Amino acid sequence: MENLYQDIGIAWVWQYDREFVEIIEEAARPFGLTTFRLEHHNITEFTEAFKKHEAGIRVLLDRASDEDELFQPLARYVAQHRPDVRVINPHHLQTRAADKATMHLEFLSHGIDVPYTIIISPYDHKREMELSLSELANLGRPFIIKPANTTGGGIGVVLGAETLKDILEARQHHRKDKYLLQETIKPVYLSENRAWFRVIFAFGEIFPCWWDDQTHLYEIVTAEEEEVFGLHRLRDLTKRIQAICGLDFFSTEIVHTPQDKLVVVDYVNEICDMRLQSVHRDGVPDTIVRRIAEGLARSVARIPGGS
């Protein structure tokens, strides 16, 4: 492999990340930054060259090691031996943020409103559940069942659970994982919009969006809507979440309830889906994706030193 010393290494495996990768490359150029795609065909070779100091990166945007073990040796090596390389997002913080049980307890301890939740042990750890009838009653009907660590794209989530039998069946699908049982949170209507939001935090910027949990469609919250409906609170809450999880780039789901509370219902999505709305109906508005890429480039440009 030829000597490679780049500013940003982009590790990616998901086919729908292609447009996002291209936008990052485009955003990096005006700052004089170089980029390198880390993909299946070159990740092993690059990792070996990196260990021998025959290749280098200043920043690693890791959108792959959580999905593909081929990318894990580079992520582990950087974490253990290269504190000079900035990782977005660091593996240990990403793993912690992905654990919904951990985040639930962290949010509670920091006074953030979350759904009434019961956390139950992994099936393989404890087959019998210690669940009282009063606890089950407090969940209401229907309630939500979700594994603590395996819910990317809604995997394993049961939205319309009604009975103890539903819980017993669900927790056997991911036997090594904890499960969360949660009350269903209903949004208020603000004008004609269901007040369900997905807010993206990226490199110091906050992007509040209306996000319909039924259609999964995004719409940018306007400055006027923030003013009229008091939605600046979404920004304040997202800053508090960032201080807890420590990630540079994540999203969270927040519901404005009829009681005028902001309840965080999906705590931290540590790998954001960046499909473009112009290409995918349920994608992120293009202007936000481009601003995120520019924010990444700006944050890298501020890092002192060269490759």
DSSP per position, 211-260: E-TTT--EEEPPHHHHHHHTTHHHHHHHHHHHHHH--SEEEEEEEE-TTS
Helices (H), the chain: 18-28, 43-51, 72-81, 91-98, 100-109, 133-139, 164-170, 223-229, 232-245, 286-301
pLDDT tens digits, 50-75:
999 999 999 999 999 988 999 999 99
Predicted pLDDT at 137 = 85
Predicted pLDDT at 63 = 96
Residue 2 has pLDDT above 60, yes or no: no
The pLDDT confidence band at residue 163, using thresholds 50, 70 and 90, is: confident
Predicted pLDDT at 129 = 72
Higher pLDDT among residues 33 and 191, named by residue: 33
Predicted pLDDT at 135 = 81
222-227 contacts at long range (C-beta below 8 A, 24 or more positions apart): 225/190
Q: Which range (27-41, 253-267, 291-305) has the least confidence? A: 291-305
Residue 3 has pLDDT above 70, yes or no: no
Residue 118 has pLDDT above 80, yes or no: yes
**Residue listed under structure tokens 């009838």:** 133
pLDDT tens digits, 221-255:
999 999 999 999 999 999 999 999 999 999 999 99
